[in-house]
Chains A and B, each alone.
Chain A
C-alpha cells in the first residue's frame, strides 16, 4: 500500500485541500493521510474527498485529527478537480468545415498550441477518436499533453462504430455518462468540430 502523509497543521483554507488534491494526483499514491489541527480543515478535506468519490475516515480528537483519504480499488482514478482548465470536446478529426487536408493541418496545429496551455480534459467523440488511435499523426502532441496532466477520454461507442481497436493508443475509453459529467462540471467547454 503506497500511502502518503501530509502535515497540514497550522494551515488555513484552501491549503489543506490543495495539498491533499495534489498528493492524490500521483498515480502511485493509493491513500493520503492528512494531519490537521482545526475543525474547518477537517471538514473541508472530508468534503473534498467525499465529493471526489474517495473513501474517507477521520480519527482523533481534542483539536488534532488524522483524515485518511483512500482511492477506491479498481475504479477510475478520481476526476480532476474542476477549475484546472477548459474541457475540449473534439467531435471531428478535422478542424472546421472545408478542405479535409486543411482541416487535418489545423487540428494538428491546435494540439501543438494547446501544449502551451494544457486543458483539463480532451474528449474525443465521433471521428475525433481517429486522432487518438494507432496511426494518428498527432499522437506525439497528445502524448505531450498527457504528460502535462491533460486527461484524455475517448468515446467507446465511437471506437466500436468505426471498428477501431478496442483500446485507443492514448488516454482511456469512456462513456457518455462520464463525458457529460466532465462537461457539466467544467466551467468552460470548447467544442472543436
Chain B
C-alpha cells in the first residue's frame, strides 16, 4: 500500500502506551522493540507479498530474506519465524511446498528456526514471515539515531522494482536476472553484524517506499536532513536503461507523490528521479555512520562479502528540504 494511504489509515488507530514498548508505530521503524528485562529486548516484524519471480523456491528465499531484513536493520538477531501463506486451490501443492522450502532454507541460513505458520486460501499466492528477534536494548539501532556529520552507507544496489517489472515484460537477459535475484535473496546479516560491531545508532532497510521514502522516515525520526549524491548510488545493471524506457512500477510514482515538496532534486531526468523512489524487495540497509568510522566500516563490509556497499550521502542539520539529492 502507498505511504499516503497507509498514513491516513493508521491515524485512526488509537495511541497505546506501554513503558516497555521501546519502539512502536510512532516512528515508522522496521520492527517493534519490546523490553523483556533490563538487558534483553524482543524485536517483532511481519512482511509478506505476491511473487516477484516465477520460481517458487526462489520466491520463498526472497520473501524470507526480506522479512528477516527488518530484524538486521534494528541491530537484532532473528530467533524464530512464523510462515504466512496465501495460496490458491488451482495451483499444485508442490508449488507451495517449494515456496516454504525456500523460506525455511533462508531462515536456517539466518540461524533461526521456523516455529509455525498460518495458511489462507486466496486467488493469488502471497508469502512472507512474522519474524521475532532479540537484541540488547542499548544495542537497538533505530531510524531515529542519525546525527549531523554522519555519512550514509547503502549496502545493496537499487532497482529491484524496475527490474522485476522488466522481468515480467521479458526484457532482461539471463545475467541481469541472476544479479537481481541474487541481490534480493541475500541476507542483510553481514551488514547488520558490522553495524553492531561498530556500535552504529541509525539504520533502516530499503523496501517498498524506495530509497527516499525510507530515508525520509529516518530524517523525520532523527530530526535531521539527508543529502544524497545520485552518482554515488549503487545500481543493479540495466536499471537506468529500463527506467528510461518507461518500465517503472506504479509504486515509484506514489512514493514520489507522498514526498512531494519535501525532496529537493537537482539536475536529474525523470527516469533517474523515479529510481530514487523505486520500491525495493529485500533491499539493502541504509545506515548513518560517524564520519571517522566510515572508511573502516566500508572496508569491513566489503571484506565480509557486502561488496556493493557504498557511501551515498551524508546527514546535515534539519533544513527546508527533508532530503536533497545532488547529481
Contacts and interface: CB of A to CB of B under 8 A. Distances in A.
A47 B244 contact: yes
- Chain B interface helix/strand/loop/mixed: helix
Contacts of B173: 83, 187-188
Given A14-B165, A51-B245, A40 B171 contact: no
A47 B240 CA distance: 12
B246 A83 contact: no
Interface in B217-249: 237-238, 241-249
Contacts of A83: 166, 171-173, 238, 241-242, 245
Contacts of B253: 39-40, 43
Interface in B57-96: none
A45 interface: yes
Which one of B166, B242, B245, B271 has the highest number of Cβ atoms from chain A below 10 Å of its Cβ?
B245
B244 A17 contact: no
A178 B238 CA distance: 20
A114 interface: no
Interface of A: 12-15, 17-18, 38-41, 43-49, 51-52, 81-83, 185, 187-188
B26 interface: no
Given A83-B172, A83-B173, A188-B173, A13 B250 contact: yes
Contact of A51 (B169, B244, B252): B244
A48 B247 CA distance: 8
Contacts of A41: 250
Given A40-B248, A40-B249, A185-B241, A47 B270 contact: yes
Which one of B238, B247, B271 has the highest number of Cβ atoms from chain A below 10 Å of its Cβ?
B247
17 contacts: A13-B165, A13-B247, A13-B249, A14-B165, A14-B246, A17-B246, A39-B253, A41-B250, A43-B248, A47-B271, A48-B245, A48-B246, A49-B246, A83-B238, A83-B245, A185-B241, A187-B238
Interface of B: 165-166, 168-169, 171-173, 176, 237-238, 241-250, 252-253, 270-271
Given A39-B253, A51-B246, A14 B166 contact: yes
B49 to A, nearest CB: 15
Contacts of A82: 241, 245
Nearest to B257: A39
Contact of B246 (A38, A46, A188): A46
Contact of A47 (B172, B238, B248): B248
A51 B244 CA distance: 7
A19 B237 CA distance: 24
Given A13-B165, A51-B244, A38 B250 contact: yes
A187 B242 CA distance: 11
Contacts of B271: 47, 51
A188 B241 CA distance: 13
B254 to A, nearest CB: 8
Contacts of A49: 246
A57 B166 CA distance: 25
A41 B249 CA distance: 9
A12 B168 CA distance: 11
Contacts of B244: 47, 51
Contact of A187 (B165, B176, B245): B176
Nearest to A46: B246
Contacts of A39: 253
A14 B241 contact: no
A52 B244 CA distance: 9
A187 B248 contact: no
B65 to A, nearest CB: 24
A187 B166 CA distance: 14
Contacts of B270: 43, 47
The 9 closest A-B pairs by CB, nearest first: A48-B246, A14-B169, A40-B250, A44-B246, A47-B246, A17-B246, A83-B171, A18-B169, A40-B253
Given A14-B168, A83-B171, A187 B247 contact: no
